[in-house]
Structures are given as structure tokens and as C-alpha cells.
A = this chain, B = another copy of it.
Amino acid sequence: MENERLHSEMNVTKDGVLAYRIYFEQSFEQLPKRFLELEADRRKICIVSDRCVASLYLQEVETKLKSVCKNVVSYTFPAGEEHKNLKTVKDLYRFLIEEKFDRKDLLVALGGGVTGDLTGFAAATYLRGIDFVQVPTTLLAQVDSSIGGKTGVDFDCYKNMVGAFHQPKMVYINIQTLTTLSEEQFFCGMGEVLKHGLIKDKAYYEWTIQHRDEICKREENFLTEMVRKSCDIKRMVVEKDPLEKGERALLNFGHTLGHSIEKLMNFQWLHGQCVALGYGIASWISMKKGFLNQKELQKILETNKEFHLPVSFSELKPEDILAATKVDKKMEHGTLKFILLNGIGNALIDRTVTDEDILDAVRHFETTIRNGENR
């Protein structure tokens, strides 16, 4: 019993002190109990959600929270990355002002990465910072964006250009919500899951390949194990380096090119898809630099295909992709911090990747589709 309890929660520390807990559950049943631990009975709560997620879960979550808190309101906005911007944040500020939310009140991000990032940023900046809770409902948000305190919005189509580090007070994961995801949304999350194995844990990477069928069928036990493992990898990296002064940058594997592609595609591809293509290209560069052999590269690209993740593109110019990397957050003193693989399960930060290296690699992935391979 004790073991079961331990298995269903994970502590995240900051500077060695407990910062918040992640709960892994199969339903929303435990929400009232968990919110009482945050003294929700003495606070106002605003549940923030996009309209798509709201139609699925808002009523249930709101009812659960109302059983322990008499002041629960909700704010919804249109779904989609194109609404992760300051306009939506300003609209949310206005709602909070009207509802007289003060410094002791609480926001709840119910939804995917867009909702979590946006709600977290509003919480980080409303009255110079109030508390918020993550209730991630997509695979991507559960394994990646809800943990680690990165919040932010896009600005003039630049990804997460405006943001803040602001840790949640709790992350409540209901694994069951993964069953309502579209195929595309689900596999998008797999881009980040596979990334975790690639950068930190070869055995985990092999496990995901080995259990591809169970994962694709969304069998609860496998999903729970997978989400827990990915959260654990992210937790370890973030605890060591919360503000991305060093090792946390490894989590950006695939993100430099991924963000450029995401921006240039006007967000028509999902984040995890772009990341997967981005780390495909980064793996190719790793191979060119002798860090990865041909067989490993092939395995990475094959696995992406098996999980319905893109391994090529056709509508973009390689030069535009290169140019877009120059205004990404990974630039430091004018040099690009590029994440490469030194074998599967072991990422490194490289500062020697040249424009020519990038163009070369990107062109290779453009060619692929000309040869008739699918994305």
C-alpha cells in the first residue's frame, strides 16, 4: 500500500528543498484531496482551459474543485498554438481583475502545453506572481511541458520568446485523459518521450520501441509506466539545473531546428512533430561529426516513422530554416548551443556546429521526400 502510494507520486525539489509534487492518477477522483493540501478552501480558483479540453473535462474538474472551494471560476480560450500569445494573456489578466483575484489565489492549467505555458506565464506575472497548478491532459504536457517551471507565450510567431521561470505548486496527471487524444496529438507527445530516452536513457528508448504496440493501443499500465519514467528523467535534469545554465539545455535536443520549422510552418505541425524532425536532423549532424554511427541514425529515423513522426519536409527552404535558428533562445554571445548525441542515451552540448553543417543536414532531409519517402 505504501509502495503504491509512493508509486503514484513524485517529489520535485529545488535547491534540495521540496518544491512540488507530481501525482499520477487514473481519474480526477483525488483532485479535492490534493487541492485541500494547497489550502484551496481559503482561496479563489480559476481554471484555465482551451475550449476543446473544456468541452471534455471542465465540468468534471470544476465540480470536483467546488466540493472543497466555494470560489471556483473558469476562463476558456480558443484551442491552438496561435492563441498562445500576449493577447490571450491580457484577456486572462482582465478576467482575473474583474473576479478580484489577489496574490493568495490560484490558477489551474487544465489542458495541453499551450494552456500550461500560457497559464503559467499569467501566474508568473499577475500581481508579480501567484500560485498555479498543472493538470496536463496531453501526452506532451504530461511528460514535458508541465514539469520544470518554464512558462511563456509566442511573440510575433517566435516560439516562447516571452516568458518566465515559475514553478507550479502541484502537477496532477490523470493518465485516463490520454485516451481522448487524437492520433496526431498522441504521437506528437511521443516525440518528447523518445527524446528523453535518446538524451539520457538507452534502456528506456529500447523499452519504448519494444512496447510500441501496447503504447500505440494506449494500454493504461504501459502509459503510466512511460509517463512516470519520462517525468523522472525530466525531473532529474531540471533539479540539477533549474534555470538552464548548463545540463538542462540537453532537453532542447531537436528544439533549435524544431522551433524554426514550427515557426516557418505557421504552427501547422505540432510541437512534438517538429521536435522529432529537428532531432532527426541533429542526429544526422551527430553522425557526420562521428558521434553516432549510421546504424544508430537509421534506428532513430525508423523509430520516428513507426511512431508516425516526420522524418522529412518539403515545403520549406533550408536557408529559411537556418535563418530562423539565429533568433532562437539557444543563441549565446552569437554562438549557437547545439545539442547532439554521443551515442543513443547520451546527449552533449556542442558549440562547433556551423551554418554549413546545418544547411548540409537540413538539405539531406529535404531530399528524402523528393525520393518519395513519406513524412
Residues of A within 8 A of B (CB): 42-43, 86, 90, 93-94, 97, 100, 102-104, 124-129, 150-152, 155-156, 158, 160-165, 243, 326-327, 329, 331-334
Contacts and interface: CB of A to CB of B under 8 A. Distances in A.
- Which 3 A-B pairs have CB atoms at the shortest separation, nearest pair first? A102-B331, A128-B163, A127-B329
Given A94-B156, A129-B165, A162-B93, A100 B329 contact: no
A94 to B, nearest CB: 7
Copies in the complex: 2
29 contacts: A42-B333, A93-B155, A93-B161, A93-B162, A97-B155, A97-B161, A97-B327, A100-B331, A100-B334, A102-B334, A103-B329, A103-B331, A103-B332, A104-B332, A104-B333, A125-B125, A125-B164, A126-B161, A126-B162, A127-B161, A127-B329, A128-B150, A128-B152, A128-B160, A128-B163, A128-B165, A129-B164, A129-B243, A164-B164
A14 to B, nearest CB: 13
B97 A86 contact: no
A287 to B, nearest CB: 28
B128 A164 contact: yes
Given A97-B327, A128-B329, 12 more contacts: A86-B90, A97-B158, A100-B331, A100-B334, A102-B329, A102-B333, A125-B163, A126-B161, A128-B151, A128-B160, A128-B163, A129-B165
A42 B243 CA distance: 21
Contacts of A100: 326-327, 331, 334
Contacts of A326: 100
A266 to B, nearest CB: 18
Contacts of A332: 102-104
A125 B329 CA distance: 12
A6 B160 CA distance: 42
Nearest to A15: B15
A90 B161 CA distance: 11
A260 B243 CA distance: 37
B331 A125 contact: no
A327 B124 CA distance: 18
